[in-house]
Amino acid sequence: MKKRLYKRKIIDEIEKYIETEDIVVLHGARQVGKTHILYYLKQEFDKKTIKNLYIDLEDSRFAAILDQGVRSFLNLIKEEGFDLNEKIIVLIDEIQYLKNPSAFLKLIADHHKKIKLIVSGSSSFDIKNKFKDSLVGRTVNFEVFNLSFEEFLDFKGYHFDVKKIYTEKKTEELKDFFREYTLYGGYPKIVLTDGVEKKEKYLQQIVDTYVKKDIRDLAKIRDIEKFNKLLEVLASQSGNLLNITEISNTCRISKATVERYLFIMENTYILKIVRPYSKNIRSELFRIPKVFFYDSGLMQILWLKNLQRKIIGNVFETAVFSELVKKYRQENIFFWRTTDKKEVDFIVKTASGALPIEVKINSAQFNKKHIAYFMEKYKIKKGYFVALEGELTKEDYIYPWAI
């Protein structure tokens, strides 16, 4: 039986660049669906009889051919039955396996205009190390994350339109789905797997095979035990202030090493360091940031060693953060905190200004004082209170799928 290919929301954005000369580059963590996106695009090209070729560089035979140079690559295309005088789209998975992808891509982009390249890479850290300035102006980059809640519902076969006002029954169904999304996360394989035990098994495999291995290899980590402890501590602190000195002492790792590991974890899309919001950039740089994991399921496996049956506060906040990233981009997500501990969970930079968002599992936990203070200070007219449970009777009280 042919496996169904799901359309991810990012596909519409990628398709805008199919007719340009840009090299389309997909970045993202392993197992978030980059290969699936390439398969989906190939399927669409096949339907439209657009000539295309898919190459997986995890197969070392293909990596060896492309490493030999452009001539070997062109010979491969001809051997697959394509005419080099006609336009062809070549989809290359795991481009970071090439020894010098930058030189290879530049030569194709500059001298073989009939070949359109769409490539993926599992680590922006790895890609940035191998991509040189010579590719500036030749690439258009897309970041692929785990599933958004809307995509999660699509994978579940559930129709959803965010613009609609739902009946009480439909709202309860959506709440149940968001509980599942929060508890188990948004990795595509996890979403499509039935049974908590299997979900835990597959998430642990992602941790062992991809998260730890990738970071260990990139950072050349020798003391595995201390590194594993660091991952556990960081996962437990998702949504909290990041005190590097305290983490250094807890894990018995130097501050410089902790900072290096954090840099690699950010660039392998495991977590994000979220900075405080301030209109004074100088002062912003000297304030303690927060740390958030991109996936609430992965966070729980690292921290608690299993998936919970009841939602914990910082797990819910992590799930909301993940949603905000997909809607507004991670560089636009901040938080706000004063020296006297007034705090707003998220400040989102939008085209129309700052948008403050407070997050609680239950609306009964809301305290409007801090967000009201922020809105008055920065002359902001709109803010939201996001909750999953309780009475959402006020206009600024919303469910997480409405952010």
Q: pLDDT in tens for each of the 403 residues of the chain? A: 467 899 999 999 999 999 999 999 999 988 999 999 999 999 999 999 999 999 999 999 999 999 999 999 999 999 999 999 999 999 999 998 898 888 899 999 999 999 999 999 876 555 666 666 667 778 899 999 999 999 999 999 998 887 777 788 899 999 999 999 999 999 999 999 999 999 999 999 999 988 887 777 777 777 888 888 999 999 999 999 999 999 999 999 999 999 989 988 998 899 999 999 987 656 655 589 999 999 999 999 999 999 999 999 999 999 999 999 999 999 999 999 988 888 999 999 999 899 999 999 999 999 899 999 999 999 999 999 999 998 887 888 999 999 8
- Global confidence as pTM: 0.91
For residue 235, what are the contacts with CB-CB under 8 A and spacing of at least 6?
293, 298, 299, 300, 302, 303
CB atoms < 10 A from the CB of 9, how many?
A: 13
Helices (H) and strands (E) in the chain, counts: 18, 13
Domain with CATH 3.40.50.300 in the chain: 10-144
The token pair that represents 110 in the structure block: 């500059």
Q: For residue 281, what is the enclosing H or E element? A: helix 281-284
Q: Tell me which DSSP letter residue 237 carries.
A: T
Question: How far is Cα 386 from Cα 263, in angstroms, rounded to an integer?
Answer: 30
Q: Using one digit for the tens of pLDDT, what is the confidence trace for 74-102?
A: 999 999 999 999 999 999 999 988 988 88
Q: How far apart are CA 252 and CA 249, in angstroms?
A: 5
Nearest to 177 by CA among 148, 203, 144: 148
Gyration radius (Cα) of the chain, Å = 23
10-144 CATH choice from 3.40.1390.10, 1.10.1740.10, 3.40.50.300, 3.40.50.1820? 3.40.50.300
**Sheet containing 343-350: which strands, arranged edge to edge?**
333-337, 343-350, 353-359, 384-386, 397-398
**Which DSSP helix (H) or strand (E) runs through 398?**
strand 397-398
Task: Evaluate whether 147 touches 188 at the Cβ level (below 8 Å).
Answer: yes
Whole-number Å distance between alpha carbons of 95 and 220: 21
Chain Cα centroid distance, residue 365: 29
The sheet carrying 52-56 orders its strands as 52-56, 88-93, 115-121, 23-28, 139-144
362 beta partners: 389
CB atoms within 10 A of CB 134: 14
Distance of CA 155 to the CA centre of its chain: 17
State the DSSP code for 196: H
